[in-house]
Amino acid sequence: MPFRFHRLSADRVLLTNQGGEFALLDTADFDTFAGGTVPSDSSLHLDLKSKGFLTHGPDETELRVAASQFRTKKAFLEGGPKLHIFVPTLRCNQGCGYCQVSRAGVETCGVDMTSETASKAIDIMLSCPAKAVTMEFQGGEALLAFDMVKWMTVTASERAAKLGKAVRFVICTNLTLLTDEHLTFFAEHGVSVSTSLDGPAFLHDRNRPISGGGAHDIVVRNIARCNEALGSGFTSALMTSTVHSLPHARAIIDEYIAVGQKSIFLRDLNPYGYAIKTGHALGYDTDLFLDFYREALAYIIELNRNGTFFSESFACTLLRKIMTPFGVGFVDLQSPTGEGFGVVLYNHDGSVYASDEARMLGEMGDFTYRLGTVNDSYAAIFFGETMLDIAAAGVAESLPGCSDCTFVPYCGADPIRHYRTQGDPVGHRPTSSFCRKNMGVFRHLFGLLDSGDPEIERIFLSWLMPSRTVPPRPTWQP
Amino acid sequence: MLPVFDDRGVSASIGIDGALYDEDAALAAAYMLTDRCHVAVDREGSVLTVTIRLKDGSGGEALKTACGDFGNALIDAALRARISDQTADIREALLKRAFGELAPRPGAA
């Protein structure tokens, strides 16, 4: 059967197939397999056959199973874009050095979305075939345009109900302006809160300064208010790693646990907006981020071993792809790319972009990936020339450097990032920081899965379970 | 397939038997080096010649390592090409089976 391979080390080889199954072999077994001489009565034969790597036909059943696996992995395509990002305002009250957009001052005029624009954008969102969509409010600081957020939430709910569709709401906010009125509205309309917490006060306040100071204390206090008003699971936090973060992996994780979070998303810097302008001051080499990531993940695994449930979101995304039959709607790691296929963004000025990253380019004066405006038809936006260009560079299985890569069943293409960083949406994988980071994390996760430590697999599986608790240790040994 | 170094030791040429390795495999292996090397692939008759030069202009052990890495990458690339050839029919059948029924049926609105 078709497969890809990668030498993890001098004596271990990773095999994957289109359905996302994997096998870890020593080189002797791999040579036997590649040579087509695996004895039919061997355990290796049974193992590889059960995972769809080996066949003597294939017969009808094997084909049906493999096709079903492949289709399930790509099921995220069905229904079109499901994440719809709205930018009600570009105004912001913080001055983050790594801001991915080109924020505007709190008093700036002409950077708020009008109700006419919002109305058209909501109609486009609800024109998508998906029966359930997520409407995410970003900024700027979305709470500076709270009246518009309220209007859009109520309007989208009413229109969706008439169409028999469901809308899930998420507001991305720095939480520094949170009031009881906000919380009451979020609770009434089931609005989830996504905020930013970069770690302890000395890190957060350095990365995310606010007039008057003390952003960290405000955010921590307001995360607690959100948890109390909305219940657990409705408030999540994201961190962005600057060069100042890298020596403090444990302190950052301890901070997240202290504020009651059950997971952390260890994010590297995005190459957009202010992050580019301040890149030399805040940026770092990908290998340094990987060192940070590995140290943080080791600490998180140690916490789980000792009975504290806590997960890392990027690892969860990859592990869900690796250890379950399902695909994941994570824009950066989809093939075909999530840009335009999984996500679409409606900017305050009515521009429609293929992703948040495409909007960030637009804010930098580059409109290459603007799909159109809210005045355009659904077909013009989603089947226009720009989407065709994205699609042409957005299928990882057909890109140089990716087509043969063993990690491609779990990875993505991200043409807009490669356009930004390398001047070419196809990109050059040997020098791509996107590829280097993802390959580094993939190799590390498979190395952990290959470590022979049953606790690792148990902990990883616990991260993928809806109950989000560490299951009891098995009393038997397999 | 041993590399031949130029007199300054900053460039290496590797001759490849075209009967043993096809051009696609050589190109795929060369591509993997393009982060740190300038690589040229030429053909004369059935012999492919790959010329490798480090981008930083150095030679010595780093160039020898690059040549070794190319050799290993070439073997993997050739194996991948063989797997691709041998499984082409199955891959096509899988794709048709997985996504064929998503295509509009004749006469459907």
**Interval B45-104: pLDDT, tens:** 999 999 999 999 999 999 999 999 999 999 999 999 998 888 888 888 888 887 775 555
Alpha-carbon gap, residue A361 to A272, rounded angstroms = 7
Identify whether the C-beta of residue A390 lies closer than 8 Å to the C-beta of residue A336.
no
Fold of B4-100: Alpha-Beta Plaits (3.30.70)
pLDDT score at B105: 53
Q: Considering CB atoms only, which of A2, A7, A404 is closest to B87?
A: A2
One-letter amino acid for residue A140 of the chain: G
Q: For A80-478, which CATH superfamily applies?
A: Aldolase class I (3.20.20.70)
Residue keyed to tokens 């109950």: A467
Q: Considering CB atoms only, which of A7, A66, A401 is closest to B31?
A: A401
* Residue B87 sits at the chain A interface (C-beta within 8 Å): yes
Which DSSP helix (H) or strand (E) runs through A380? helix A378-382
pLDDT score at A276: 55
| pTM attached to this predicted model | 0.89
Q: Which residues of A147-171 are buried (b: 16+ CB within 10 A; e: fewer)?
A: ebbbbbbeebbebbeeeebebebbb
Each as own residue / partner, the long-range contacts of residues A295-298 (CB below 8 Å, 24 or more positions apart, any chain) are A295/A249, A295/A250, A296/A249, A296/A250, A296/A252, A296/A253, A296/A264, A296/A266, A297/A266, A297/A444
Question: Is the Cβ pair B79, A64 closer than 8 Å?
Answer: no
Question: Is the Cβ pair A2, B91 closer than 8 Å?
Answer: yes
For residue A369, how many other CB atoms are within 10 A of its CB? Answer: 26
The per-residue pLDDT string of chain A (478 residues; one tens digit each, 9 = 90 and over) reads: 899 999 999 999 999 998 899 999 999 999 999 998 999 999 999 999 999 998 887 788 888 888 888 889 888 888 889 999 999 999 988 877 777 666 788 888 889 999 999 999 999 999 999 999 999 999 889 999 999 999 999 999 999 999 999 999 999 999 999 999 999 999 999 999 999 999 999 999 988 888 888 889 999 999 999 999 998 889 999 898 888 999 999 999 999 999 999 999 999 887 655 555 555 566 778 999 999 999 999 999 999 999 999 999 999 999 999 999 888 888 889 999 999 999 999 999 999 999 988 998 998 899 999 999 999 999 999 999 999 999 999 999 999 999 999 999 999 999 999 999 899 999 999 999 999 999 999 999 999 999 999 999 999 999 998 655 444 443 443 3
Question: Is the Cβ pair A404, B97 closer than 8 Å?
Answer: no
* Residue B57 sits at the chain A interface (C-beta within 8 Å): no
Question: Is the Cβ pair B94, A66 closer than 8 Å?
Answer: yes
Query: Where, residue-wise, is CATH 3.20.20.70 in chain A?
Result: 80-478
Q: How many helices (H) and strands (E) does chain B have?
A: 3, 4
Question: Is the Cβ pair A401, B33 closer than 8 Å?
Answer: no
Contacts of B77 in chain A (CB under 8 A): 404
Measured between alpha carbons, how far is residue A257 from residues A99, A203, A300, A304 in Å?
Answer: 25, 16, 11, 12
pLDDT score at A477: 34
Q: Which residue from A minimizes the CA distance to B90?
A: A1
Q: What is the rounded end-to-end Cα distance, in angstroms, of chain A?
A: 28
pLDDT score at A75: 87
ipTM of the complex: 0.81
Q: Considering CB atoms only, which of A7, A70, A430 is closest to B32?
A: A430
pLDDT score at A471: 41
- Picking from B24, B92, B94 by the largest number of A CB atoms within 10 A of its own CB, the best residue to mutate is B94
Question: Is the Cβ pair B31, A400 closer than 8 Å?
Answer: yes
Tokens of A396: 């990882």
Alpha-carbon gap, residue A321 to B90, rounded angstroms = 23
Which DSSP helix (H) or strand (E) runs through A34? helix A27-34
